[in-house]
Structure 1
Amino acid sequence: MQAEILEKLKAIPAGWQRRLYFMGVLGEALVPVGVRPVIVGGNAVEFYTLGGYATADIDLVVAERAEVDRCLAAMGFTREGRHWFSEELDLAVEIPGSVLAGDRSRVTEVEIDDRLVYLIGLEDLIIDRLNAFVHWRSARDGEWAEQLLALHFDEVDFDYLRCRAADEGVGDTLQKILSGLEP
């Protein structure tokens, strides 16, 4: 990793902003091989809640895992089990899957210093949290689904969200949450 980029990353306070900037750097390094990693999980929740949610790592979905592994190793990350770590940057990366749970055309693109970062779409992230709430009985994920809906109520594509919720078996739960949010 170039010294200038490394110093810029170190200067950004640890947290979601540093992780997003790093993802811009990683994404830029992967452009030549046609790889586009998508941030999912807690870091995506943290982005959409502007830091209201806190996580410690970056979860990615990418089909070309070997390319990302090669790139992370070249950037000085070390692999321990499922995670890649950089003590120098205070960053951790995990690739929990190769298939995005949602619609790739709904991925959110964010530009950071002329670099693109990709995040799971808002509605698909809400479905992810609803699935965790209903199927894994994670009350916190239900609260985050509600928070995401409340924060972005005017931006949500409710037709898409309701359709996905019905397909995932969480439609009733979505409707209960919406009933509490609607004026």
Structure 2
Amino acid sequence: MIHLNELKEKFQDLKYLSKHERMIQVCGLLTTYFQQDNIQPIIVGGLSVELYTRNNYTTYDIDLISDGRDKFDKLLTNELGFNKEGRNWYHQELEISIEIPDNYLEGNKEKVIEMKLENGLHIYVIGVEDLIIHRLESAIVSHPDNPEWTDDYEWAERMFKIHQNDPEIMDIDYLLDAAGKAHVDHIIKKWIS
């Protein structure tokens, strides 16, 4: 657990880190702080792709699925110097944007991965299987006849290829089952063969 004054001090030190490391540390600090409220923010969207592609993908904002939007709002705007702009909170000095698009995870909570950071903090990230499926669904919506023309398809395929032989990260049986329910399993089967 981390107290508010310590959280504020640690936020001051973030400005010396790279953009990627700043975003990860912000997530780690918020995750630790909100443990006291039994709130578990889960990283989704571009930052999760960045993590699963080992920083080959680049994003400029943090998307979190989390309960307690009102508590986030109070903490970010009243205590940590973020400005609220629509659905986003933006910190000028740190150049960090945070959005909580939903409080419901579209995917399996059991597949969420806890990642330990070098400084002892931890973060939660959507399972790579669900992330791949979401990217493929987006690719099909964007280009129904040629989903492989999209960036979403490319990143889904990259994540699959990076993690397909790592059973600690990717459960192929779950991926195929969930992909079947989302009607994108034909793509996964093509990658496997």
TM-score by length of 1: 0.91
SS at match of 1:63: coil
Question: Is there any run of 5+ residues in structure 1 with no aligned partner, and where?
Answer: none
Instruction: State the partner residue of 2:34.
Output: 30
Instruction: State the partner residue of 2:190.
Output: 176
Tell me which stretches of 4 or more aligned residues in structure 1 moved more than 6 Å.
none
SS at match of 1:95: strand
Distance 1:60 1:136 in 2: 23
Q: Report the alpha carbon displacement of residue 136 of structure 1 after superposing the two structures with TM.
A: 3.0
Code of the residue aligned with 2:164 in structure 1: it is F
Distance 1:48 1:152 in 2: 8
After superposition, where does 1:137-176 map in structure 2 within 5 Å? 137=143, 139-155=150-166, 156-176=170-190
TM-score by length of 2: 0.86
Code of the residue aligned with 2:130 in structure 1: it is D
Distance 1:84 1:31 in 2: 21
Give the number of aligned pairs. 178
Residues 1:135 and 2:141 are matched in the alignment = yes
Any idea what the Cα deviations from partners look like across 1:119-154, whole Å, max 9, x if unmatched? 101111111111111123361100001000111111
Any idea what the Cα deviations from partners look like across 1:87-117, whole Å, max 9, x if unmatched? 1111000111111111111111112222221
Q: Percent identity?
A: 35
Distance 1:163 1:5 in 2: 42
Question: Is there any run of 5+ residues in structure 2 with no aligned partner, and where?
Answer: none
Code of the residue aligned with 1:30 in structure 2: it is F
Distance 2:101 2:142 in 1: 17
CA RMSD of aligned residues (A): 1.5
Q: Is the 8 A contact 1:26 1:71 kept in 2?
A: no
**Structure 2 residue corresponding to 1:19, chosen from 20, 23, 28:** 23
